[in-house]
Structure 1
Amino acid sequence: MPRITIIETGLVPARWRERHGSFPAMFARMIRAVDASVDFDVVSVPNGEPLPDPASLQAILITGSSAGVYDGLDWIAPLEEFVRAAYANRTPLVGICFGHQLIAQAMGGVVRKSDKGWGIGRHVYQVTPGNGVIEDAELAISCSHQDQVIEPPAIARTIMSSPFTRHAGLLYANGATLTVQPHPEFDAAFAYELCEARAGIAPDVVVAAAKASLAQPLDSARLGQAITRFLLRK
């Protein structure tokens, strides 16, 4: 039976958790919509749970987080070591948002707050043709971030980009590591609540445009399918 280990790096605030679930629960819904037979293990690093040996795992997914990869939290350096070990072992590995940035930093890339500010709501990403993982020419996916991968690692190539986020999707040279900046696990309702939470933090015009953008369809299921196939080597 296929099994994916989800590394939880961020906790959904309590006010939303009952309605939307944890980040691992969101990913489980996304993946089981593609393959209902998948089982999951969750390792919550903010709660102090120890990281397993990546060589013992079938596949790994690293979630988003409100933390920054440069914050110096005590679990970030061990997680980077875990990523490098998983990469060397060619364990299928996917990172989303914080996971995208953490993997890039662990492998030699540069991550920092973008001078473009907050990216929230529905963004449209162009996909590099013939990348072997994502078949669509473009994808509309919700996002929520200030930090970006500014310089990808030398061993990664950009396969998704937008005017706001140049390096929104990275495929690594070992063929077993894929990362994306936006959130295919978020439904429109949760993405809308995140936009509302940025009121007074992001500029009013950015928040208003982001909320309005979510009236348009999202391609989350399409990206979720590609990620699931990648993790299960299908």
Structure 2
Amino acid sequence: MQLAVLMTNTDESEFAQRHPKDGEKFADLVHLVRPEWQVTSFSVKDDVFPDDIDAFDGVMITGSPASVHDTDPWVARLLDLIREIYAARIPMFGACYGHQAIALALGGTVEANPAGWVFGVAHSEVCKQVAWMSQLPSPFAQYAAHVEAVTGLPDGAEILSVSEACAITGFHIENKVFTTQNHPEMSHAFMSALIEEYAPKLPVGVGDAARASMLVKADTQTYGQSIARFFETHKT
């Protein structure tokens, strides 16, 4: 399996330089469950895009502090590429920003999350069972860091999971699209560091709630298996 990771993370701070880039994080997640798969990263936020997306069996789109409504040229180019990938029936997985970008590109809506910031460990209930998620518990835990959310789905999309703080934490379109609003690629150590970095910049109480949530660890490996089975389902 050959996967392309489209990196959208615009954070170039000192904090970001002390930690692995998202391409490495997603490759590590894939290799945790499918060590033989090949993963190639493209920093699309720096306008580095694949020359031939058809060379890949699947695409993963990362998270970012950027907004899908930003007017930077790379954002428009990414949305166009998402539509191209979808038309070519190449399976796409999107996390956080990727989840929102896929929704927006295909006709959905993204707005400020009505419940505000979701930060730390978030628990989602599975509301529709699909084959590749059959081993995922309900509720399942993921690391989260977002203040925008998908509020309307593209045509043909179905909600996969929900939470108290976010009405759509995942959706799918047949076996072509699979998304999560959260961050399956983040480690417990990285999320803990992210909380300490961002807590002083966020509304009062958000950081303390995020710290308290970290008593629980995310279902990283099980969710990673779901991602792998999604790509495998498309191949069968």
TM-score (norm 1): 0.92
Using the alignment, how far apart are the partners of 1:140 and 1:80 within structure 2?
Answer: 29
Q: Secondary structure at the match of 1:182?
A: coil
Match of residue 183 from structure 2: 183
Q: Aligned partners of 1:168 and 1:53: how far apart in 2? A: 30
- The one-letter amino acid of 1:170's match is F
Runs of at least 5 residues in structure 2 that lack an aligned partner in the other structure: none
Quick check: 1:11–1:22 contact (8 Å CA) kept in 2?
A: no
1:116 aligned partner, one-letter code:
A
Once the 2 structures are TM-superposed, how far is the Cα of residue 197 of structure 1 from its aligned partner? Answer: 2.4
- Give, in angstroms, the shift of residue 139 of structure 1: 0.6
Distance 1:54 1:187 in 2: 28
Q: How do 1:167-206 and structure 2 match up within 5 A? A: 167-173=168-174, 175-206=175-206
- Check the 8 A contact 1:12/1:21 in 2, yes or no: no
String of CA shifts for 1:24-73, please: whole Å, max 9, x gaps: 10111111010111111111112221343333321110111111000111
Identity, in percent, stands at 30
RMSD: 1.7
Segments of 5+ residues of structure 1 without an aligned counterpart are none
Q: 1:40 maps to what in 2?
A: 39
For 2:154 and 2:94, locate their aligned partners in 1 and report how far apart those are by CA, in whole Å: 14
**Cα deviation code 1:100-136 (max 9, x no counterpart):** 0000000000001223221100010001243222122
* Residue matched to 1:78: 77
- The answer to whether the 8 A contact 1:122-1:142 is kept is yes
Q: Supply the AA of the counterpart residue of 1:59.
A: G
CA contact (8 A) 1:144 1:194 kept: no
Who is 1:110 aligned against?
Answer: 109
The 5 A counterparts of 1:1-234 are 2-17=1-16, 19-135=18-134, 136=136, 137-173=138-174, 175-233=175-233
Q: Which region of structure 1 is more displaced relative to structure 2, 136-145 or 194-203? A: 194-203
Letter in 1 for 2:206: V
How far residue 185 of structure 1 moved from its aligned partner, in angstroms, is 0.6
CA deviation map 1:174-211 (0-9, x unaligned): x2211110101111111112222232332232210111
TM-score normalized by structure 2?
Answer: 0.92
Shift, 1:18, TM fit: 5.6
Determine helix, strand or coil for the equivalent of 2:189: helix
**Residues 115 and 166 in structure 2, CA contact (< 8 A), matched pair in contact too:** no
- Alpha-carbon separation, structure 1, partners of 2:139 and 2:108: 25
Query: Alpha carbons of 1:76 and 1:51: their partners in 2 closer, same or farther (altered >3 Å)?
Result: farther
Amino acid at match of 2:163: S
CA distance in 1, matches of 2:68, 2:133: 26
The number of residue pairs the alignment matches comes to: 232
SS of match in other structure, 1:198: helix
Of residues 139-148 and 184-193 in structure 1, the stretch that sits farther from structure 2 once superposed is: 184-193
